[in-house]
Chains A and B, each alone.
Chain A
């Protein structure tokens, strides 16, 4: 069968042009640059460079420090995503049940949304300061020999705590609106079918929140991978001994502090591929279970 073809003008292309220009300038071009540079080896002063094929990849990715950062990133992202989702869901469910002073609760819980990650990091820094930090003193006072400058577990605890705290409010907003989107009569019907509120939550409310949860999971993993840079940079700076270095932080460290542009580019290309793969997996396998 022959498709009907309408004559079209260039005007539609004009309308999408701003978006395309943004993508080209801020994504495609830097990405191409990164790929090109990842094949170059530069001298320490940036005066000359040499094409070295995949040596940058071999050197950085097979290095112990990169593997450590990769391991930490996976653990860190899993923890931040799971904890911030779980905590936000709990808060949203509870805040949704509150009748008196409901808006006060909700506004208070949403507040942290307005705080930029580096600022959250700075606040964390103050609270965990060994001289004046209240949380630092408190944790030591309850018998935990806490020192995030020396202990890698403690340092991980600090960055996870701050990252989760920062993200809970975003998740809370989405979960709350998701909860309010569930038809009241469906909940009432379940009230008549099931007397255990816990069971009702897991069999009715939670499945109906699945689209929200999926969306938030994608957002949160991206957050944990990339946006937590500001938090790490203002608190631990990857210390002690690279224990809290995420992949993004390592790209920054090696490229801007270590002046290894080629190695840093190679890492960012690998990171790009990882995120791409992760997104494909999420949409392929998890989203399939979400639709109803």
Chain B
């Protein structure tokens, strides 16, 4: 049960590249925090700074109000699960799990008890005397988690732990990680680029972009109220529909389209209208005319992709929209659908700064 606090944390590499540019964050005890962002955004660097595998250029990292900037990784009382498992190949499963405890000088009986307990919890009790090379990917990942659990650390760190697993196993392990974390109630930081993992695991989600925290909050809050264009387009699957537009005082104008129901927007700058695929609906009097291009049947619902007639994007091509609808909706290809949208839930962003305007 521990708090983690980051104050104006920065990381600059010797070659001048700035990976993390001033992050402030307070993580409450027992919270499950997920860092999500595109690759190269600095989320892993941030995690590794908490782990102690990466030095902190400036700012402070605190665990339970103790400054740990210059504390060695082994003395920070954190445990990490790596993407490629990082098991010690020359040790048995038991050896892997007890290694950290042995180095801390725990009595053998206590180590055995902890290892057995963790193995039972992770259902790897039968493999304790095997070598990692004899295990499957999922089993290896369990061992890696076991190695973290036995340490009973103050903070769990996960660096894309499910990326090397196949899709089905990934879903299973995701649920298991969440269950374990709930049960043990240990503060956890989890890095991923997979937004399903991010949405389902997090108590709070931090969207990282270009070395900064773009927005932080509960997953559903970020989905419903993204603060920036980046967050809106990163969170949500299928992705939010974006339509470049300008405001003339009464209407949003995009190509030949005129959309009403908007007010109090700047007329001087370029704007982007954002509509979630599930906020679109069939509406004979709606403003959009969608020419059906592809219909994806996902089972419970269908995703219909197509160009919006009259709406041009920057490349002077028709803006592509995705319309999420029920499974019985199967329009012919190249037919057109008249679509309306819920203007209460539509979002408008400043195209240049990415800032949300309404």
A185 cross-chain contacts in B, Cβ below 8 A: 82-84, 86
Report if A195-B72 is in contact (Cβ < 8 Å); known contacts: A186-B89, A190-B88, A292-B89. Answer: yes
Question: Are A191's CB and B89's CB within 8 A?
Answer: no
Report if A204-B82 is in contact (Cβ < 8 Å); known contacts: A194-B74, A196-B103. Answer: no
**Nearest residue, chain B, Cβ from A207:** B90
Question: Are B86's CB and A195's CB within 8 A?
Answer: no
- Shortest distance from the beta carbon of B298 to any chain A beta carbon, whole Å: 35
A190 cross-chain contacts in B, Cβ below 8 A: 88, 99
Kindly identify, within residues 136 to 153 of chain B, every residue whose CB is under 8 Å from any CB belonging to chain A: 147, 151
How far is B91's CA from A203's CA once the two chains are assembled, in angstroms? Answer: 10
- Shortest distance from the beta carbon of A292 to any chain B beta carbon, whole Å: 4
Question: Are A191's CB and B74's CB within 8 A?
Answer: yes
How far is B72's CA from A190's CA once the two chains are assembled, in angstroms? Answer: 12
Cβ of A143 within 8 Å of any chain B Cβ, yes or no, is no
A25 cross-chain contacts in B, Cβ below 8 A: none
- Shortest distance from the beta carbon of A209 to any chain B beta carbon, whole Å: 10
Question: Are A191's CB and B73's CB within 8 A?
Answer: yes
Question: Are A189's CB and B103's CB within 8 A?
Answer: no
Question: Are B80's CB and A292's CB within 8 A?
Answer: no
Question: Are A292's CB and B133's CB within 8 A?
Answer: yes
**Nearest residue, chain B, Cβ from A190:** B88
B52 cross-chain contacts in A, Cβ below 8 A: 191-192
How far is B105's CA from A195's CA once the two chains are assembled, in angstroms? Answer: 12
Kindly identify, within residues 45 to 101 of chain B, every residue whose CB is under 8 Å from any CB belonging to chain A: 51-53, 72-75, 78-80, 82-84, 86-90, 99-100
Kindly identify, within residues 221 to 238 of chain A, every residue whose CB is under 8 Å from any CB belonging to chain B: none
Cβ of B131 within 8 Å of any chain A Cβ, yes or no, is yes
Question: Are A192's CB and B88's CB within 8 A?
Answer: no
Cβ of A199 within 8 Å of any chain B Cβ, yes or no, is yes
A203 cross-chain contacts in B, Cβ below 8 A: 99
Question: Are A189's CB and B74's CB within 8 A?
Answer: no
How far is B90's CA from A194's CA once the two chains are assembled, in angstroms? Answer: 16
**Nearest residue, chain A, Cβ from B51:** A192
Q: Indicate which residue in A195, A196, A204 contacts B88 across the interface (CB closer than 8 Å).
A: A204
Question: Are A194's CB and B99's CB within 8 A?
Answer: yes
Cβ of A101 within 8 Å of any chain B Cβ, yes or no, is no
- Shortest distance from the beta carbon of A291 to any chain B beta carbon, whole Å: 9
Q: Indicate which residue in A188, A192, A208 contacts B79 across the interface (CB closer than 8 Å).
A: A192
Question: Are A189's CB and B90's CB within 8 A?
Answer: no
Question: Are A192's CB and B89's CB within 8 A?
Answer: no
Question: Are B99's CB and A188's CB within 8 A?
Answer: no
Cβ of A97 within 8 Å of any chain B Cβ, yes or no, is no
How far is B75's CA from A194's CA once the two chains are assembled, in angstroms? Answer: 9
Q: Indicate which residue in B78, B80, B131 contacts A189 across the interface (CB closer than 8 Å).
A: B80
Interface residues of B (CB under 8 A from A): 51-53, 72-75, 78-80, 82-84, 86-90, 99-100, 103, 131, 133, 147, 151
How far is B72's CA from A128's CA once the two chains are assembled, in angstroms? Answer: 48
Question: Are A189's CB and B86's CB within 8 A?
Answer: yes
How far is B53's CA from A189's CA once the two chains are assembled, in angstroms? Answer: 9
Q: Indicate which residue in A193, A208, A292 contacts B100 across the interface (CB closer than 8 Å).
A: A193
- Shortest distance from the beta carbon of B296 to any chain A beta carbon, whole Å: 37
Question: Are B99's CB and A192's CB within 8 A?
Answer: no
Report if A208-B89 is in contact (Cβ < 8 Å); known contacts: A192-B79, A292-B131. Answer: yes
Question: Are B74's CB and A193's CB within 8 A?
Answer: yes
Cβ of A183 within 8 Å of any chain B Cβ, yes or no, is yes
**Nearest residue, chain A, Cβ from B133:** A292
- Shortest distance from the beta carbon of A203 to any chain B beta carbon, whole Å: 7
Q: Which of B83, B86, B133 has the most CB of A within 10 A?
A: B86
Kindly identify, within residues 192 to 216 of chain A, every residue whose CB is under 8 Å from any CB belonging to chain B: 192-196, 199, 203-204, 207-208, 210
B133 cross-chain contacts in A, Cβ below 8 A: 292
How far is B73's CA from A185's CA once the two chains are assembled, in angstroms? Answer: 13
A207 cross-chain contacts in B, Cβ below 8 A: 90
B83 cross-chain contacts in A, Cβ below 8 A: 185
A193 cross-chain contacts in B, Cβ below 8 A: 74, 99-100, 103, 147, 151
Question: Are B99's CB and A191's CB within 8 A?
Answer: no
Q: Indicate which residue in B84, B90, B100 contacts A192 across the interface (CB closer than 8 Å).
A: B100
List 5 contacting pairs A-B, 8 Å CB cutoff, sorted by A: A191-B52, A191-B74, A192-B53, A193-B151, A210-B90
- Shortest distance from the beta carbon of B40 to any chain A beta carbon, whole Å: 18
Question: Are A192's CB and B103's CB within 8 A?
Answer: no
Report if A195-B99 is in contact (Cβ < 8 Å); known contacts: A188-B86, A189-B86, A204-B88. Answer: no
Question: Are A189's CB and B88's CB within 8 A?
Answer: yes
A210 cross-chain contacts in B, Cβ below 8 A: 90
- Shortest distance from the beta carbon of B143 to any chain A beta carbon, whole Å: 11
Question: Are A194's CB and B100's CB within 8 A?
Answer: yes
How far is B131's CA from A292's CA once the two chains are assembled, in angstroms? Answer: 7
How far is B151's CA from A189's CA once the two chains are assembled, in angstroms? Answer: 13
* A190-B88, A194-B99 known, 11 other contacts, Cβ within 8 Å: A185-B83, A185-B86, A186-B89, A188-B80, A192-B51, A193-B151, A194-B74, A194-B100, A207-B90, A208-B90, A210-B90
